[in-house]
Amino acid sequence: MAPGGNNAPWIVLLASSSLLLMLPRAASAVHRSDFPASFLFGTATSSYQIEGAYLEGNKSLSNWDVFTRLPGRIKDGSNGDIADDHYHRYEEDIELMHSLGVNAYRFSISWARILPKGRFGGVNPSGIDFYNKLIDSLLLKGIQPFVTLTHYDIPQELEDRYGAWLSSEIQYDFGHFADVCFGAFGDRVRYWSTFNEPNVAVQRGYMFGTYPPGRCSPPFGSCAHGDSGADPYAATHNMILSHATAVEIYKRKYQSKQKGSIGIVLFSTWYEPLRDVPDDRLATERALAFDAPWFLDPLVYGEYPPEMRQILGERLPSFSPEDRRKLQYKLDFIGVNHYTTLYVRDCMFSRCPLGQQTQHGMAVVTGERNGLPIGTPTAMPTFYVVPDGIEKMVTYIMMRYNNLPMFITENGYAQGGDSDTNVDDWLDDKGRIEYLESYLTKLAKVIRNGADVRGYFAWSVVDNFEWLFGYTLRFGLHYVDYKTQARTPKLSALWYKEFLQNLHEVQ
């Protein structure tokens, strides 16, 4: 036997125990041990983007089932009819999460599966059964369910009957839905969010008209119906009251028994002034306030942001005494979906270039200054890699809301490709590793500096249906072959797994 030949059994052992151990041990600037032991580390998804089975088990059509069928709306003409077929493959997907070593999973409930006709019909036993199986399987693997009640998709019935979010009637439907979910699942769910990114749903659905129900008016867009100057404020008001209805039900009826917490998730882009001038600095303050605080200020302080009231005045609805009574039941946490940072240019004191996306805070946003991007571009047109942004965003929310507990409920990186992109290219996602590592480094720093952040969810565990981009963008830690539904870990899945096991070397 040659010297060293007795190493052979080791090689066999390593190869059979884990592919990971064969990879060179990567150096990293951030480690699991930089975060509190109780920290939640997970992955995130939403019902419409992964479940498929769009008519199975007596589910009714959602607003997204209807909207994706309108010609020209989705880049590749696709929809979520099948998506990742997670409805049938949830056990395999939980196994993927278990192999990553996460201790939490953020998903959303398909309202149209639980209440196909909203409160105008019964609770659907098949829908309850699906989420019971999902939750029980997660808990068996030591994974905490972190549940969003609605992540954009609602029963189309509510749109058809009374215009959904444009009617104050929807608070009774949302309250009923929340009550059914707390009653059915709350004995095992410790974390509830009412809404995912209502600020995006409102801006795209009622201001720019690019998401359902596709309403808008000039200068924001040209739609068959809608009033961009009024509908977004009415829809937001009804979402806030729907949220408050659900929180009141949870706090009065369930929380003392079930011992969970309830919050809301906002899309939270960080903004920087385009030019180093007072006008752009003020515009940046407005852009920030017109975004997540549009929802959060009423929920925490009972009023729309002063920055919005100053500009919009009477166009903002007011809270009645009954609304205020509901709003006294407060949030337990704020969910922060953070991906990127953009520049802001003032349009209040100076004329803005036409053709750029106008924010309603009298500003335009852009990813470039003098032709240079604010960070490395990604396949998602408005998402650049700007790690400092997560530190600044968390600090802003910490200061504005007295350090209410926060969770980073989404953070992730989009890959794009063309017909020449092969599987190996998709699997070799070093850009995503750099993104996750750099953002987690800044997140660890802001926590060390006192921010009460309690968890982090990578978007997403698998590639999935990316709304207007269909299947052309891939956010997954696992690659999905949509022909066979086979899932394959990308390099970033291995990176996240090693990170969670605290295996990376110190840089």
Ligand X SMILES: *[C@@H]1O[C@H](CO)[C@@H](O)[C@H](O)[C@H]1NC(C)=O
Which of 126, 356 has the CB closer to ligand X?
Answer: 126
Structure tokens at 344: 């802001």
Which of 58, 507 has the CB closer to ligand X?
Answer: 58
Q: Helix or strand or coil: residue 34?
A: helix
Structure tokens at 430: 């070093």
Amino acid at 253: K
Structure tokens at 101: 């070593």
Point out the residue whose Cβ comes nearest to ligand X: 126
Which of 89, 360 has the CB closer to ligand X?
Answer: 89
Q: Which of 63, 96, 52 is nearest to 170 (CA)?
A: 63
**Residue ranges in 262-313 assigned as alpha helix (H):** 278-289, 293-301, 306-312
Which of 60, 150 has the CB closer to ligand X?
Answer: 60
Measure the CA–CA gap between 409 and 217, rounded to whole angstroms. 32
Binding mask 40-59 for ligand X (x = CB under 6 A): -----------------xx-
- CB 365 to ligand X: min, Å: 46
Structure tokens at 99: 């192999």
Number of residues that bind ligand X (CB under 6 A): 3
Binding mask 435-474 for ligand X (x = CB under 6 A): ----------------------------------------
- The one-character DSSP state at 427 is H
- Is residue 88 within the footprint of ligand X (CB under 6 A)? no
Q: Which DSSP string corresponds to 401-415? A: TTT--EEEEE----E
- Is residue 183 within the footprint of ligand X (CB under 6 A)? no
Which of 25, 133 has the CB closer to ligand X?
Answer: 133
- CB 129 to ligand X: min, Å: 8
- CB 52 to ligand X: min, Å: 15
Q: Which of 33, 71, 42 is nearest to 147 (CA)?
A: 42
Burial of 280 (0-12, 13-18, 19+ CB in 10 A): buried
Q: Which of 306, 314, 154 is nearest to 239 (CA)?
A: 154
Binding mask 7-46 for ligand X (x = CB under 6 A): ----------------------------------------
Decide if 91 contacts 156 (C-beta within 8 A): no
Amino acid at 188: R
Question: Dihedral sign, CA of 296, 294, 444, 491?
Answer: positive
- CB 45 to ligand X: min, Å: 23
Binding mask 90-109 for ligand X (x = CB under 6 A): --------------------
Measure the CA–CA gap between 401 and 264, rounded to whole angstroms. 14
Q: Give the residue numbers annotated as catalytic, written as ranges.
A: 197, 410
Measure the CA–CA gap between 176 and 183, rounded to whole angstroms. 11
Which of 126, 350 has the CB closer to ligand X?
Answer: 126
Which of 124, 409 has the CB closer to ligand X?
Answer: 124
- Is residue 126 within the footprint of ligand X (CB under 6 A)? yes
Decide if 282 contacts 344 (C-beta within 8 A): no
Contacts with ligand X by CB under 6 A lie at 57-58, 126
